[in-house]
Amino acid sequence: FGLSNKFDTEFPSVLTGKVAPEEFKTSISRVNACLRKNLPVNVKWLFCGCLCCCCTLGCSLWPVVCLNKRTRRSIQKLLEWENNRLYHKLGLHWKLSKRKCETSNMMEYVILIEFLPKYPIFRPD
């Protein structure tokens, strides 16, 4: 379903001077812990759903779709919490985004880190 089993904890060079490497690693570790908790359950349901797919006319795959959606929502909530806690104050915004894989036509979810524009608060209207 395009969701990784873990995200890379290597500190990107574009964030140097914007955020501490320890904060970045802590945030990614929280996301990876969420994935580590939810993905084994999704795989078990996917295996069971594939076995029963012919008998149920595909309805046995609905639990997998719902669990995957729940996992995505929990990661999005976690990223929003991280944004409110720290990253919006630093002028950054983290979000989960779907994009096309470079090696195939499949879609994957990635974490995008966007730079928020700075608003001039001292400029007159």
Helix 21-51 vs helix 62-82: crossing angle, to nearest 10:
170
95-119: per-residue pLDDT in tens? 998 888 777 778 788 889 998 887 7
- Taking alpha carbons only, the member of 27, 38, 40, 35 closest to residue 95 is 27
8 Å CB contact between 44 and 29: no
Predicted local distance difference test score (pLDDT) of residue 30 = 94
Give the pairing of strands 92-100 and 107-115.
Answer: antiparallel
Collapsing DSSP to helix, strand or coil, 112 comes out as strand
